[in-house]
Homo-oligomer: A and B are copies of this chain.
Amino acid sequence: MILETLTSPIILFFALGLLAAFARSDLVIPEALAKGMSIYLMAAIGLKGGVSVAAAGFGPDLLIAALAGVLLSFAIPFLAYALLRSIGRLDGINAAAVAAHYGSVSLVTFVTADQLLTASGISAAGYMVAVLALMETPAIISGLLLARRGTKQSADSGASNMWHEVFLNGSVVLLTGSFLIGLIAGKDGFAPIAPMFEVGYKGVLCLFLLDMGLIAARRIMASKGLTFRLIALAIAMPIGNGLIALGLAAALGMAMPEMIVLAILAASASYIAVPAAMRLALPEADPGIYLSMSLGITFPFNVIFGISLFTFLARMIS
């Protein structure tokens, strides 16, 4: 499995981005293009999920997976916070901000896993997209609770505006919205626009991962607040979170493909939805730290090793 992943164009473009940035090339993907591609990917994955759920219908297993996902998203930050405070020796605010990132999920890790799993014959159910959308926000709430408790800070003047930002965050709205559109339009409604969202999908993912590689490497090079302990945690936490998710999924009797995806979601850390919310809710937290960990270390780790690791472990369990 690992060999196939490592020679698939998606991962090779990611590696090209990493190498180009470490070699300090001036290759840059314009921000508007990167935003455009992430909007395209969110719409495509949302629609695909909605259409497949419209076909398969709402089964109990969707509810189980959704509950497991939301539970993980709420709980992981508390575990991560403890590790970050003790082993990571981070102050309260930064520990809470990083914990929120690791409780939440990364769309691109999900999309990349979806591609690599399908390539090796494992296709997870369409409703996992809904689980992805549901897992984005709870972790932010836990993170803010941890930060408040940590510092007895008076209710922030922008609180109302912050809750609003957390739930009406652009990516959550687009992902959930296109999921619902896929659900309403169904197979035949989706047919006329299917070519655009299927033909371009893998190719756009290649160019997007090229950009992710460039930004992840530049993030690592520019990271100032990163201690050796934090780098170790940025690798240990995904593995830990993934194992917890595997245990929970096995206990709930989830099917093998969905089990792998849930583990990868738990192991992934957000770097689009949560950083924007954190910057507004916890301005004191240093974006240098949480972005370097989630984007600079955890994302590359998950894409290159995480996906194969959890596929292997899930196969062993079932």
Contacts and interface: CB of A to CB of B under 8 A. Distances in A.
Interface of A: 7-10, 12-13, 16, 19-20, 23-33, 35-36, 39-40, 43, 47, 115, 119, 164-165, 168-171, 173-174, 177-178, 180-181, 184-185, 189-190, 192-193, 195-197, 199-204, 206-207, 210, 276
Q: Which secondary structure dominates chain A's binding surface?
A: helix
Given A33-B35, A33-B39, A206-B43, A181 B26 contact: no
Contacts of A119: 192
A206 to B, nearest CB: 6
Contacts of A25: 168-170, 173
Contacts of A115: 192
6 contacts: A12-B184, A23-B168, A23-B173, A24-B164, A196-B199, A196-B203
A178 B16 contact: yes
Given A185-B9, A193-B203, A177 B26 contact: no
B168 A26 contact: yes
Given A24-B164, A33-B35, A170-B25, A185 B40 contact: no
A229 to B, nearest CB: 33
A206 B16 CA distance: 28
Contacts of A204: 196
Given A12-B181, A39-B29, A202 B207 contact: no
B196 A200 contact: yes
Contact of A189 (B8, B19, B164): B8
A202 B206 contact: no
A42 B42 CA distance: 25
B24 A185 contact: no
Nearest to A195: B199
Nearest to A119: B192
A26 to B, nearest CB: 5
A268 B240 CA distance: 56
Contacts of A26: 165, 168-170, 276
Nearest to A201: B196
Contact of A168 (B24, B30, B33, B206): B24
B189 A197 contact: no
A51 to B, nearest CB: 10
B276 A7 contact: no
A185 B8 contact: yes
Given A30-B32, A35-B30, A20 B203 contact: no
A171 B12 CA distance: 17
Contacts of A168: 20, 23-26
